[in-house]
Amino acid sequence: MIKQIMENICYTELVFDRINKKLGTDLNQSEIKSFIQTTLKRPDCVVEHLGKNYYVTCPSQYIRLTVNASNYRLITVDRI
């Protein structure tokens, strides 16, 4: 499932600001995309499909990605 998410993940303009706000960073769009791809490649990431979303939890980075299951659009990133 991680591979499928990595290949299909997409972003909206608003999600970049949301990610910077939630993580307390000041990354540009390409840096955020690279960060997300690097996170998804980590071996400790776990995917859960709950309702209409995938929740990708990466304990080593203390974050959880929320991805829409139907269109693979990144919704948000939360600290855990």
Buried b (16+ CB within 10 A) or exposed e, 33-57: eebbeebbeeeebeeeeeeebbbbb
| Per-residue pLDDT tens digits of the chain, which is 80 residues long | 899 999 999 999 999 999 999 999 999 999 999 999 999 999 999 999 999 999 999 999 999 999 999 999 999 999 99
Question: Sign of the CA dihedral 34, 63, 10, 54?
Answer: positive
- Per the structure block, which two tokens stand in for 71? 């269109």
- Per the structure block, which two tokens stand in for 41? 């490649």
- Domains located in the chain, CATH noted: 2-79 (3.10.450.200)
Cα–Cα dist 69/71, whole Å: 6
- pTM, two decimals, is 0.92
Q: In this predicted structure, what is the pLDDT of residue 63?
A: 96
